[in-house]
């Protein structure tokens, strides 16, 4: 059930969110994304470039929004990223997933954990038990409540950004929000 203003982030960023950058950064960029989504894959290097350009002025938050009807591996990939996060490797794993969007089978997910030297038994057990499924679904629900209906969807300082996921346009919007 959708509540509130669909142009506003319904669930504020908390310490439970996956985030990079200072909590007191001048601007916060929240992405609702899907690891199997080609548009999210195209936005991934744009976000990296924005992080490099804005440095400590930007806090980036990633929330899961797996579109399971069209991306059959997205939910498992999101669970896997959270399992990697349980071992302190969320962002490394997040990057591997976006850099290998065409290889998201269970075998691939375990292989990435091995490449990152994670405790593979713990990781595989968490995947098997769906230990992080509730977290993924909480992100998804917060997206629905914020009016997210596709990926990627971005919010800048809790206000939905509806421009293109392109460097120049996003940089301009972030700088305006920062000012």
- Report pLDDT for 91: 98
* CB burial readout 31-48, b (16+ within 10 A) else e: bbbbbbbeebbebbebbe
Q: Which of 73, 64, 121 is nearest to 94 (CA)?
A: 64
- Report pLDDT for 6: 63
| Mean local confidence (pLDDT), 118-126 | 97
List the beta bridge partners of residue 59.
28
Q: Which of 50, 18, 49 is nearest to 35 (CA)?
A: 18
Tell me how far apart the alpha carbons of residues 106 and 76 are, in angstroms, rounded to a whole number: 8
| Mean local confidence (pLDDT), 166-175 | 97
Higher pLDDT, 141 or 3: 141
Any alpha helices (H) in 10-162, and if so which ranges? 38-54, 74-86, 90-99, 106-115, 120-129, 133-145
- Report pLDDT for 7: 87
Task: Please state the pTM of the whole predicted model.
Answer: 0.94
- Report pLDDT for 114: 98
Tell the CATH superfamily of the 18-178 domain: Glutaredoxin (3.40.30.10)
SS3 164: coil
Query: H or E element: which one contains 161?
Result: strand 159-161
- Report pLDDT for 1: 38
Going from N- to C-terminal start, the domains of the chain cover: 18-178
| Mean local confidence (pLDDT), 51-64 | 98
Question: Which residues, at least 6 apart from 50, have a Cβ–Cβ distance to it below 8 Å?
Answer: 29, 58, 60, 167, 170, 171, 174
Higher pLDDT, 27 or 179: 27
Please answer whether residues 146 and 162 qualify as being in contact, where contact means their C-beta atoms are separated by less than 8 angstroms: no
Percentage of the chain exceeding pLDDT 90: 95
């Amino acid at each position: 059930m959708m509540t509130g203003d669909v142009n506003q982030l319904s669930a504020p960023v908390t310490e439970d969110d996956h985030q990079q950058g200072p909590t007191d950064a001048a601007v916060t960029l929240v992405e609702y994304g899907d690891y199997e989504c080609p548009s999210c894959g195209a936005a991934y290097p744009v976000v990296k470039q924005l992080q490099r350009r804005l440095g400590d002025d930007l806090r980036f938050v990633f929330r899961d929004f797996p579109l399971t009807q069209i991306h059959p591996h997205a939910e498992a990939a999101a669970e896997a990223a959270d399992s990697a996060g349980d071992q302190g490797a969320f962002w490394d794993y997040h990057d591997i997933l976006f850099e290998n969007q065409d290889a998201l089978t269970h075998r691939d997910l375990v292989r990435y954990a091995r490449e990152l030297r994670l405790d593979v038994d713990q990781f595989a057990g968490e995947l098997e038990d769906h230990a992080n499924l509730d977290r993924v679904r909480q992100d998804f629900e917060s997206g629905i409540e914020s009016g997210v209906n596709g990926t990627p969807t971005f919010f800048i300082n809790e206000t939905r950004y509806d421009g293109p996921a392109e460097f120049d346009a996003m940089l301009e919007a972030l700088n305006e929000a920062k000012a």
